[in-house]
Amino acid sequence: MDEIPRTATRLRAAVARIDRLLARDVVGSGLTRTDFSVLGALSRADSLRLADLVDRERVHPTMLSRVVGRLVGAGWVTRLPDPDDGRAALLSITDAGTVLYRRLQRERAARIETYLDGLDDEQAGRLAAALPVLEGLADHLTTGGEPPLQAARARAEVGR
């Protein structure tokens, strides 16, 4: 248990450093990190309302509205009236936005793959085994859920 604070500090530092380094690729393209994230969210959905995008991105609506305006102006996103709600608009990624997003994704993936190619089998296995834990941490931080041990205990209690 004494290792938990040290592990948390090291994990936070490593993730922040990786994120910063990968963000350079995005920023070098003229996009902000938020621009890139919005393009990603829209690439995974047919269309989204701004309110749904705010929930996904966890960004203030005013800021996100500016981001969307910039992306629309660049021709990477379209904003069309929502047929179900005349007050709202549906946002979709354009073909040009999809091309840009996929190119940046490929470039980022290639940088990571270059490192992974240099791992020996044991290192690659340890990293692969850690991925579910990291994904669980991401889910936990996104939803504010219970820590894994508490969640497991709660599930066990329900089963009794």
Split the chain (160 residues) into runs of 10 and give each run's mean pLDDT: 87 92 85 95 95 91 96 97 90 98 94 94 95 90 68 49
* pLDDT score recorded for residue 148: 58
Smallest Cα–Cα separation from 25: which of 107, 102, 114, 100? 107
Question: What ranges do the domains of the chain cover?
Answer: 3-118, 120-160
pLDDT at residue number 155 = 45
What backbone torsions phi and psi does residue 117 show, to the nearest 5 degrees?
Answer: -60, -25
First CA to last CA across the chain, in angstroms? 28
**Looking at the whole model, is its pTM more than 0.95?**
no
pLDDT at 160: 44
Burial 79-94 (b: 16+ CB within 10 A, else e): eeeeeeeeeebbbbbb
What is the rounded distance in angstroms from the CA atom of residue 92 to the CA atom of residue 77? 6
CATH of domain 3-118: 1.10.10.10
Task: Give residue 1's pLDDT.
Answer: 60
